[in-house]
Amino acid sequence: MPAFAETGGSGGSDQFWRGTGLKTGRGSLAWEIEVLPADEIVAHIIKPSSGPRLPDFIEGQESAGTWLQAKPAVFDCLLKDRRRESESDATLLMGRLVAAADSVAWNVLYPNERDPFLLVDVDYFKARAVLEAYGVLLPLPKRARKYGKPKEKALLPILSLCISPEESPGTWEEDEDLKSRFDQLSEDHQSGLYVFMTAFRIKTTVDVLASLFGERFSAKIEKALLSDVFRRTEEERSGYLQWAIRTMRAAEKHVRLNKPDESLDLATVVLFSDHFIPEDTADDEDVSGILKTASEILGAERTGYSQKLRFMLAKHFRRVGPQDLPQDPNDPNAYAWENWRRETDL
């Protein structure tokens, strides 16, 4: 058992952490934890203020051969600390943190571990495997990854409802502060953001369906969803949706390849800002506030909408249920199994 596990993942013994930072001078992370009790060390490591200093600290831990042992405890503490009340899927939550360039989430992951989380909707199980490899989540049985292919006629009415933010409110609306900031925006701003979110939801839906049922099936659904939107909205809005979906994919690829340490949420919102920030919004402070609100809403949509979509697909089309999985109330990974039960049980 790793040293950190002896204290329930809270940090382990003093000897496990002490003296392993390469840069141990005043102000370094290694220097700060020298005076902390062992059970407070991990909580200090995952503070936002610690994020920029993590690379030096991790380098020291790796030189001492202790970082891989410590990493699961850091993951577990980070996910529980950053989790919003509506979030129940640890994999999607980590995806949200990486897309938002959370400095702690970004630095505790190796470069080859980040991409799966940036592409979590394209290949959910590949991203989940990163957390499984560290023991943060228990591996899903192969049969739990199998979905029966849905009939288009049965799936489309459900998806048509899901992709509309007006008809199917996002979990971000449960956040009083975020909802209040959105309500303070002008009608034009709100309308533009709703169209932006619709495009994001269609793109996410298509990516998830492609990962589960293949690109040919997802392409048919995308065409059908857009046709349905076209019938219900004006031509200008419909044309924007098509452009937005293509551009979102290109933007995400560009950020991953060229600006990997920037917030994917903010970069995407800035790219589309002309479409929901009127030209007469000249005040830089107002523009900055709108972009901040929009990027936080997008971040919430990444987990909230994906959870809703995957819950619906699991409920109707997954071939196994929670009764097929081991249920041990004493399992240290109970957090992961609770997620599974919430995903599959209504």
Domain region containing 15: 1-82
My answer on whether 76 and 175 are in the same domain is: no
Q: Identify the domain boundary among 25, 51, 82.
A: 82
My answer on whether 300 and 205 are in the same domain is: yes
Out of 6-20, 68-82, 249-263, 271-285, least confident range? 6-20
Query: SS3 breakdown of the chain: % helix, strand, coil, rounded to 5?
Result: 70, 0, 30
CA 271 vs CA 185, 264, 268, 296: distances in Å: 19, 11, 5, 15
Residue range 236-262: mean pLDDT, rounded: 74
My answer on whether 56 and 188 are in the same domain is: no
My answer on whether 179 and 71 are in the same domain is: no
Residue 130 predicted with pLDDT over 70:
yes
- Rounded percentage of the chain residues whose pLDDT exceeds 90: 20
My answer on whether 47 and 169 are in the same domain is: no
Q: Identify the domain boundary among 29, 54, 82.
A: 82
Residue 291 predicted with pLDDT over 50:
yes
Has residue 344 been placed in a domain? no
Instruction: Tell me what pLDDT residue 287 has.
Output: 80
Bridge-partner residues for 318, per DSSP? 147
Has residue 65 been placed in a domain? yes
Rounded to 5 degrees, φ, ψ at 236 are: -60, -45
Has residue 291 been placed in a domain? yes
Instruction: Provide the number of structural domains found in the chain.
Output: 2
Has residue 48 been placed in a domain? yes
My answer on whether 209 and 301 are in the same domain is: yes
Residue 104 predicted with pLDDT over 90:
yes
Which of 106, 82, 104 has its CA nearest to residue 93? Answer: 82
My answer on whether 73 and 171 are in the same domain is: no
Higher pLDDT: 239 or 234? It is: 239
pLDDT in tens, 211-228: 888 999 999 999 888 887
Residue range 83-88: mean pLDDT, rounded: 84
My answer on whether 53 and 170 are in the same domain is: no
CA atoms of 132 and 114, how far apart (whole Å): 14
Has residue 130 been placed in a domain? no
Instruction: Tell me what pLDDT residue 210 has.
Output: 92
Average pLDDT score, the chain: 77
Instruction: Tell me what pLDDT residue 96 has.
Output: 93
Instruction: Tell me what pLDDT residue 25 has.
Output: 65
Identify the sign of the CA torsion 166, 171, 177, 181: negative
Instruction: Tell me what pLDDT residue 91 has.
Output: 92
Instruction: Indicate the pLDDT class of residue 236, thresholds 50, 70 and 90.
Output: low
Which of 191, 187, 185, 183 has its CA nearest to residue 165? Answer: 191
Quick count: other Cβ atoms within 10 Å of Cβ 166? 9
Instruction: Indicate the pLDDT class of residue 107, thresholds 50, 70 and 90.
Output: very high
Residue 78 predicted with pLDDT over 60:
yes
Instruction: Tell me what pLDDT residue 95 has.
Output: 93
Residue 16 predicted with pLDDT over 70:
no
My answer on whether 46 and 160 are in the same domain is: no
Instruction: Tell me what pLDDT residue 141 has.
Output: 76
Has residue 288 been placed in a domain? yes
My answer on whether 77 and 162 are in the same domain is: no
Q: Identify the domain boundary among 30, 62, 82.
A: 82
My answer on whether 168 and 282 are in the same domain is: yes
Has residue 128 been placed in a domain? no
Residue range 105-116: mean pLDDT, rounded: 91
Residue range 149-164: mean pLDDT, rounded: 85
Residues 193 and 294 sit within 8 Å (Cβ to Cβ): yes
Instruction: Tell me what pLDDT residue 13 has.
Output: 43
Instruction: Tell me what pLDDT residue 263 has.
Output: 84
Instruction: Indicate the pLDDT class of residue 279, thresholds 50, 70 and 90.
Output: low
My answer on whether 195 and 300 are in the same domain is: yes
The single-letter code of the amino acid at 329 is P
